[in-house]
Amino acid sequence: MPFRCAVLDDFQNVATSYADWTALGDRVEVVSFTEHFTREDDLAAALAGFDCTVTLRERVPFPATLLDRLPRLKLLIASGMRNSVIDYAAAKANGVTVCGTESSSTPPLELTWALLLGLARGLVQENNALREGGPWQSTVGADLAGRTLGLLGLGRIGSRVAQVGLAFGMDVTAWSQHLTAERAEAAGVRLARSKEELLSGSDLVSVHLALSDRTRSLLGAAELALLRPTAYLVNTSRAAIVDQDALLAVLREGRIAGAGVDVFDVEPLPADHPMRTAPRLLATPHLGYVSRANYERYYGQAVENIRAYLDDAPVRVLG
């Protein structure tokens, strides 16, 4: 009987084309699921006949209640080397090895700037008007040069976003709970004395923090009220860092110029979710990690992980 591998959330149906799965020979059978499972019962039923599961990012939780229902599962592979929705203790108790893959910071960096530029220059509105016979020029773009870019987080991605902002001639400031003046200076940016100072003093704010107990709901109604009416907010990190109801409120009331969002409290976003119709919102369906190079890395290393596991020498083990 072959070692059966399920690939979850393969929305574009490309998982088998971005890696050489034939390297596993006839030892492994790969089945790709292009539809997302929203109910644990449906997911448990779908995965019951598989020895291995490949899951993308942190969209699909693997709690003990699910792992206990998958006695055949022996290998769980997550894209990235950190996953907060896998119960590692339950995986170990059920004899499941959890492995990760490397992930590039370049795709989310590039998407961050796509959203920032799209907002600042009204690209969606102008493109729609041009294609639909609307007015010739209906927006006035916001300049970047000389404006202040505020970064919540100056880690692997935030520091690279800062470099692009500096190249545009922006004044870049950053804040996080443990960011020091020395680290900020090394990145060529100013350290904001507080989260509040950063929010009130920035023309564009971009979120680049990991989700944790400290950062969950870091930006609530009080914090968003500090943003200037002309400011833009971009979040390509994690939805839970920004209070979703508070964000919807400031967008509907026009208290900020706009927001660019790539992450949501529920994914995929339900058809009737208010984020789909919010004004002043430029939204993308969690494309931050979705690029050819990243997919080649994810699925290529997933193949390596499976081969190593079958050879009794697992690699990139998590937990």
For the annotated catalytic residues, the residue numbers are 238, 267, 286
Residue 142: CA count within 13 A, CB half-sphere: 20
Q: Strand pairing partners for 19? A: none
Q: Are 107 and 291 in contact (CB under 8 A)?
A: yes
Question: Which residue pairs, CB below 8 angstroms and at least 24 apart, start in 209-213?
Answer: 209/152, 209/153, 209/155, 209/176, 209/237, 209/238, 209/241, 210/82, 210/153, 210/155, 210/237, 210/238, 211/84, 211/237, 211/238, 211/240, 211/241
What's the token pair of residue 138? Answer: 């209906």
Neighbour-count burial for 61-82, b at 16+ CB within 10 Å, e otherwise = ebeeebbebbeebbbbbbbbee
CB 65 within 8 A of CB 89: no
In one-letter notation, the amino acid at residue 118 is: G
Query: Reduced to 3 states, what is the DSSP secondary structure of residue 146?
Result: coil
* Nearest by Cα to 259 from 251, 267, 269: 251
3-state secondary structure of 68: coil
Q: Rg (Cα) of the chain, in Å, rounded?
A: 21
Alpha-helix residue ranges (DSSP H) falling in the chain: 40-47, 64-67, 88-93, 106-120, 123-131, 158-167, 181-186, 195-201, 221-224, 244-252, 292-310
